Structure 1
């Protein structure tokens, strides 16, 4: 690949699962910014949010993404709110092709409703919170280089194949052909 592919979108859109498969097919490293943050802090995202708040977390997230973008070209998945920070968007826009994994709200809800590891959903109305976040974030997510519909009924393999084809159409020079 000639530059990073950075996956953005809501929690539950499939950034980690799809990113892992895409990287495997492209034979490039896969990095998950949330996993990198947890490893560096020796804490979960929920613990960081609880102890230090969202603003602190977003600043650390930006630092981790900058470090990942400075490393070997690969596929990077980001937390759902990473793209919302203008500074983080600017970092990504300068070094990567950004892909919004746009996913149906009901599919998102089905994927995240039983997951206590989502700090932003620890509210009295988690589904309402998810829908509100999606409504707020969608116009900013739409600034990504590529919008990809993440369908709930597709397998990871089928989605990765569709995404690979979409990447080739979006940037024919992105993926270097090997013989």
Structure 2
């Protein structure tokens, strides 16, 4: 068993929203690994970062992604940093991964000053640029498809993603 699609991308790309919409369109379930981690740990992702550090969170995330890839057959949204793990990238090689790409201006506008994004504390624009510069090559390397979301609302992105999934089946 494996997901019919896995969404990756930076904060503000719309992964969770689009995954939910695509799942509804295709009549399957949706799962988000950040939500899995929060449910398992009983605290928010932000609190895990603050209380235990990024390395601890990334270890939890790697396990959550591996579990979801092996026991979920719907649509899966990964946290923005999941692709930092070489193990996770290897697991994604045989998956239908869709990279939701977003430019810096659109991402910052969507994320704003969101306090629930622990790696974006401080200068949001600068932090987002650094994250995107570091991660974009990794998103591209592990993705079969990419959709640029800058000028599209979630419904249009979901329609494009659902069409890609249907064509690729």
- TM-score normalised per structure 2: 0.93
Structure 2 counterpart of 1:168: 166
Structure 1 counterpart of 2:114: 115
Give the 3-state SS of the residue equivalent to 1:158 in structure 2: helix
Determine the C-alpha separation between the residues in 2 that align with 1:59 and 1:6. 19
Give the 3-state SS of the residue equivalent to 1:43 in structure 2: coil
Structure of greater Rg: 1
Equivalences for 1:53-72 in 2 at 5 Å?
53-72=53-72
Q: Structure 1 residue 75: deviation in Å? A: 0.6
Alignment gaps of 5+ in structure 2: none
Structure 2 counterpart of 1:83: 83
Give the 3-state SS of the residue equivalent to 1:142 in structure 2: helix
Determine the C-alpha separation between the residues in 2 that align with 1:18 and 1:83. 18
Alpha carbons of 1:130 and 1:27: their partners in 2 closer, same or farther (altered >3 Å)? same
Alpha carbons of 1:33 and 1:2: their partners in 2 closer, same or farther (altered >3 Å)? closer
Q: Structure 1 residue 159: deviation in Å? A: 1.7
Q: Structure 1 residue 67: deviation in Å? A: 1.2
Q: Structure 1 residue 113: deviation in Å? A: 1.5
Q: Structure 1 residue 53: deviation in Å? A: 1.0
Determine the C-alpha separation between the residues in 2 that align with 1:101 and 1:81. 13
Contact 1:102 1:149 in 2 (8 A): yes
Residues 75-118 of structure 1: CA distance to partner in whole angstroms, max 9, x if unpaired? 11011100121101112223x21111001211100011131100
Between the two proteins, the alignment pairs up a number of residues equal to: 168
Contact 1:4 1:69 in 2 (8 A): no
Q: Structure 1 residue 166: deviation in Å? A: 2.6
Structure 1 counterpart of 2:157: 159
1:126 is matched with which residue: 119, 124, 127?
124
* 2:137 is the alignment partner of 1:145: no
Contact 2:147 2:157 in 1 (8 A): no
- TM-score normalised per structure 1: 0.88
Determine the C-alpha separation between the residues in 1 that align with 2:126 and 2:72. 39
